[in-house]
Amino acid sequence: MSEKFDAVDIIRIKRDKGTLSPEQISWTIDAYTRGAIADEQMSALNMAILLNCMSREEISQWTTAMIASGERMDFSSLGKATSDKHSTGGVGDKITLPLAPLVAVFGVAVPQLSGRGLGHTGGTLDKLESVPGWRADLSNDQMMAQLADVGAVICAAGAGLAPADKKLYALRDVTGTVEAIPLIASSIMSKKIAEGTGSLVLDVKVGSGAFMKDEDMARELAETMVGLGKDAGVNTVALLTNMRTPLGLTAGNAIEVEESVEVLAGGGPQDVVELTIRLAEEMLQAAGVPDADPAAALKDGRAMDVWNRMIKAQGGDPRAALPTAKESEVVYAAADGVLLELDALAVGVAAWRLGAGRARKEDPVQAGAGVRMHAKPGALVRAGEPLMTLLTDTPEKFDRAKEALADAVVIGPEGDRPAQQLVIDRIA
């Protein structure tokens, strides 16, 4: 078949800081998905985009073309508002687990399509798969039925949603172009828009344990994604949130589920509760339910009831004992004082090395592995007190995990109590 454009001409335009037309962009995504553009050509184009960026109109058209590469879901038959949340990923970020059932308490359907962990950031599906019997893979019909009955579903995205993104992401991962903001934004938003949710709240993490270390870049990404949502008619808002320190007191899989259940039972770490409630408020407001009280629904057991139904609907047993690691080792405080820093990246890498994460998509994970923290920044500690417990089934992993934690902890004088703002800004 005769192609409408030539890949080399498209590359040259972006190389020379030009602007691609909507027709050129649509052809590029379609041709790459079909195999008419080679990987090396798309790699060159991705690098040109990373170096020279894209206009708002180009990014919007790129996202539209990614969506057009596959199917679009439609939840209008549910007869109720839909709202979703996407996090750019962090350490100890188990917020989706209590958040989805909490929002569903108020009659808003939550179609949460989630992913698996890669590197130091954990994956929601990996965490939930530590629940005995729970399954991530649902058909579209099963997903719709669960949304109608339970109101919330957390599952894997089907292969039919934005297939161009899957191909492009794999290429970016091995060509040093993951950081290109137009490509990050279109990757995330193409899947979320194709998913068909009516409103979307973005949790854009900032700090050492986040994908975006720099606040200005995180803000640019958030603003770009909010704009893409608006262009597509999806009510979208973003929060910039702090990821200098891990969320909660656990980083792993089963131990994060355990902590999420504590939150659903009305307890749990203050930062996890605070962010869960704040994101629930944003999702409910975006879905047209501004007067709901999510804090009350955590305390009175309504959110826990939805959680139990959601887990059962996907084959899991919410009452079953969660897997535990076979081996543990404690990391102790080296001095008296105030814990000033607990570096999120270091804790995430340690959990990954203990077996809670994976280096490649096909690698297995250990359900019980991870890091349990006994103190967070601001806490008084004494020399010899436990700071963290490392968990794994394979004790030979302890040494490398401890290497990752070598500079993770800073303890200072008792008068120095750090103040860390959890929610940095709101972008709408």
Active-site residues, by number, are 86, 165, 172, 187, 191
Q: 23-27 — which CB contacts under 8 Å span 24+ positions? A: 25/58, 25/61, 25/62, 25/65, 26/61, 26/64, 26/65, 26/68, 27/3
- Determine the length of the chain: 428
Q: For residue 2, what are the contacts with CB-CB under 8 A and spacing of at least 6?
A: none
CA 106/CA 101 separation, integer angstroms? 9
Nearest residue to 384 via CA among 308, 304, 330: 330
Nearest residue to 106 via CA among 233, 288, 229, 243: 288
CA distances to 149, 177, 226, 368 from 352, rounded to whole Å, are 36, 23, 31, 12
Side-chain half-sphere CA neighbours of 152 within 13 A: 26
Q: Which residue is listed with tokens 């719709």?
A: 144
CA 366/CA 358 separation, integer angstroms? 10
Query: Which residues in 169-325 belong to E strands, given as ranges?
Result: 199-206, 235-242, 250-252
Asked if 298 contacts 266 with a C-beta cutoff of 8 angstroms, the reply is yes
Nearest residue to 128 via CA among 118, 116, 141: 116
CA 308/CA 105 separation, integer angstroms? 12
Q: Residue 82 has what DSSP assignment?
A: B
Other C-beta atoms lying within 10 Å of the C-beta of residue 165: 26
Q: For residue 282, what are the contacts with CB-CB under 8 A and spacing of at least 6?
A: 201, 237, 239, 426
